[in-house]
Amino acid sequence: MKLRAITLTNVRRFDGRTAALEAIGDGITVLAEANEFGKSTFFDALHALFFEKHRSKGAPVKSLQPHSGGAPEVAVEVETPEGRFVIFKRWLSRPTARVSDAAGRVLAQDDEAEAWVDQLMKGGASGPTGLLWVRQGVAGLEPEGNAAERERLLATRRDLMSSVAGEIDTMTGGRRMDAVLARVGEELAQLATVSGRAKAGASGKRS
């Protein structure tokens, strides 16, 4: 899945207004602006769209509501191997969820739309995607539900974390890591002297 556009309406500082990030391309996207410009608002709204049900009235949803109240709305255009789609959610007042295709035809509404999003996100916040989706100041490892459900989800997370830790240990220990360090040393030797000065004619730029 690739994000192509994010549109917020009546979300936090964008009280009664619409703000959008459009024409998002391939590769890494960096959102850089001054403090209090609304960067975290976009990320929190994006997280809510994928992981908060449209009927939710929990803290993550209420935090999107501006001081004047009203219904926060978030729409995201995504590109998948099957094509481009728009996911839309509105919370709190006349809550709804909707998935449309590139031509604007509604493919799923409300609970069916939530199921479509869950399938897209491979299990939502309780699945592997939720493990990797980390927001500023939030670990995202505190599942909701009754005690049995929380324990089941935490056990799943522990298994995933153990698997990731094992992969890291494999990479950072033993002969494999030695080979990586040796390769890095060879590449560096082509670009710089032992003292760290760039070699004449070496391609690349020091930062």
How high is the pLDDT of residue 91?
A: 97
* DSSP per-residue letters across the chain: -EEEEEEEEEETTEEEEEEEE----SS-------TTSSHHHHHHHHHHHHHS-TT--SHHHHTTS-TT----EEEEEEEETTEEEEEEEE-SSS-EEEEEETT--EEEETHHHHHHHHHHTTSGGGSHHHHH--BTTB------SSHHHHHHHHHHHHHHHHHHHHHHHHHHSHHHHHHHHHHHHHHHHHHB-TTSPBPTT--S---
How high is the pLDDT of residue 31?
A: 83
Q: What is the rounded CA–CA span in Å between residue 207 and residue 199?
A: 15
Q: Which domains does the chain have, with CATH numbers?
A: 2-133 (3.40.50.300), 143-202 (no CATH)
How high is the pLDDT of residue 29?
A: 82
| Per-residue model confidence as pLDDT tens digits over 62-117 | 999 999 999 999 999 999 999 999 999 999 999 999 999 999 999 999 999 999 99
| C-alpha closest to that of 152 among 120, 132, 123 | 123
Query: Which residues of the chain have a pLDDT value below 70?
Result: 123-146, 150, 152-175, 202-207
Q: Which pTM value belongs to this model?
A: 0.64
